[in-house]
Amino acid sequence: MVWLLGNPKDFDGWGATNPGWAWKDLSNYWEYIVSKWQTTHVENDVYMQRLLNVGTNQGFTENPDINNFTKYGPAGVSRRYFSGVLETPSFARRTSVWTQLVKPVISKENLDIYVYSRAHKIIFQGTKAVGVLIQDPISGRKTILRANKEVIIAGGVFDTPKLLMLSGVGPKKDLKKLGISVVADVPGVGKKSARPHFSFTFISPS
């Protein structure tokens, strides 16, 4: 898997209205995650080095670290360079959040995992999220999980805005059309979530 950090400008945009979510607030977490993840630079490969030479011969800058935001501009904004990438090899298998981050801490007492359960609704008190309604698809049992501090939704690029909208957070006119009571009129929910991008992948023997 290619180890690619998010775009600092996105985080700073969110942090402008949501204290604690700017890039500077989160960089310690990124460093912690990177430190837990086994990574390797593919530039060390002879074929990759030849490919990078093609780029520099054509006048592109070579960026030795695709996640170096300060010198070459953040990934996703300034991509006019040729770069090798940081990879996360794990015995020729793609690594994942499960293998690298969850499995090692699965026995922690402050972690509960509800396998297969789906979140159906965020529970609000006024406009403050105080819990989540989940349902076990096998037994059909519904449970409300209450939050002591905050609720963080990480359902991916499509399901996160979907869950927000089902819970009443989103563009007012869309929610009204669907008969959903509006908790907060937030026009940006569900917009510009997915950014198309393309990349070339070269695989060479090591």
Ligand X SMILES: Cc1cc2nc3c(=O)[nH]c(=O)nc-3n(C[C@H](O)[C@H](O)[C@H](O)COP(=O)(O)OP(=O)(O)OC[C@H]3O[C@@H](n4cnc5c(N)ncnc54)[C@H](O)[C@@H]3O)c2cc1C
Q: Counting contacts by CB under 6 A, is residue 155 touching ligand X?
A: yes
Taking CB under 6 A as the rule, does residue 163 contact ligand X?
yes
Exposed (0-12), middle (13-18) or buried (19+): which is 45, by Cβ within 10 Å?
middle
- Out of 42, 119, 129, 175, name the contact with ligand X by CB under 6 A: 119
Rule CB under 6 A: choose which of 50, 118, 128, 176 binds ligand X: 118
Indicate the residue among 57 and 154 with the shorter CB distance to ligand X. Answer: 154
Report the b/e string of 76-105 with b at 16+ CB within 10 A.
Answer: beeeebbbbbbbbeeeeeebeeeebeeeee
Span 125-154, contacts to ligand X by CB under 6 A:
154
Strand pairing partners for 82? 62
Binding residues for ligand X, total number by CB under 6 A:
10
Binning the chain into helix, strand and coil, the percentages to the nearest 5 are: 35, 20, 45
Window of 32-40, 76-84, 142-150, 156-164 that interacts with ligand X by CB under 6 A: 156-164
CB of 162 or CB of 172, closer to ligand X = 162
> Residue 105 is which amino acid?
V
Per DSSP bridges, beta strands 40-41 and 169-170 are unpaired
46 or 102: whose CB is closer to ligand X?
102
Least CB distance from residue 55 to ligand X, whole Å?
Answer: 20
- Site for ligand X contains 1 (CB under 6 A): yes
Contact call for residue 189 and ligand X (CB under 6 A)? no
Task: Find the shortest distance in angstroms from Cβ 2 to ligand X.
Answer: 4
Compute the C-alpha angle 94/114/191, nearest 5°: 65
Residues in Cβ contact with 51 at an 8 Å cutoff, skipping those fewer than 6 apart: 82, 202
Return residues touching ligand X (CB under 6 A). Answer: 1-2, 4, 118-119, 154-156, 159, 163
